[in-house]
Amino acid sequence: MPPQKVEIFKSMEDWAYDNILVHLKPVEKCWQPQDFLPDPASDGFHDQEALPTYQTFLNSLDGVRDETGASSTPWAVWTRAWTAEENRHGDLLNMYLYLSGRVDMKTVQYLIGSGMDIKTENNPYLGFIYTSFPERATFVCHGNTARQAKAHGDINLAQICGTIASDEKRHEIAYTKIVEKLFEIDPDTTILAFADLMKKKISMLAHFMYDGRDDSLFHHFSAVGQRLGVYTAGDYADILEHFVATWKVENITGLSVDGRKGQDYVCKLSPRRKRERWPRMRPRSRSAGFTTEKCKFELRA
């Protein structure tokens, strides 16, 4: 990235201290996985899967990476604390699924080992726009899962997913504010990044999911989410429309010729997706069964 663009993120550090780190919760006030799981001392007790990959991704972004592993910049503080908060989600869901007997730990190892390719090119403009999407997507799908779990009588799972959804919403707000600030400081580069990301097609973080047998596991996983109404193409259309409106993309002025083309592309994409999206899938009946897998689905522009 050109040095002058890196300098933009350096100039945003004071703003980030005041506006982004406030979306982290003190450790002592955070829930922990044991709050939702059986007491390990009780009778009958049995003992964010690819989170290392996600932290690696954030630390690949120019101008905001943690250069030392303990940097005091707000970007580095956020990345480490965000990772710590997300780690609780993975721990809790892993433990819940382990207790249910529905987890294959080899799939987790394959996923972490495979890494990911989300085409953000070490570019923080692309990176922060990208992260806004999966944070909102996980907020939506965990909320949908919580409602389904409650309807099927699993109150504990409903509470777990509802609690995680509230964390994801808080994280979404932080990433959304970063992009909002970028649109304010450097609208042309930001809109070009937004359009570029949409043209490349957004793939969710677990798109290399594999269990050692099924080369189409992620596709099948996504299809289950669509069929059950946990996360659907309609939800994606809503998310895209949400960000176009939240970032006031249609109202941006002072753009270059290419910037206006990018703006036009993104603004036309949202209503087109609304028209073309699949019909919302309703959850099947109780007798048809219910899945408890963690929701990280592919988003396609």
Question: Which residues participate in the annotated binding site for Fe cation?
Answer: 86, 89, 135, 168, 171
62, with CB counted inside 10 A (0-12, 13-18, 19+), is: middle
3-state helix, strand, coil in the chain (%, to 5): 65, 0, 35
Per-residue tokens: 200: 């490349």
Distance (Å, whole) CA 294 – CA 89: 10
Sequence ranges of the binding site: 86, 89, 135, 168, 171
Distance (Å, whole) CA 20 – CA 86: 16
Q: Which residues contact 100 (CB under 8 A, 6 or more apart)?
A: 292
Buried b / exposed e across 197-216, counting CB within 10 Å, b at 16+?
A: bbeeebbbbbbbbbeeeeee
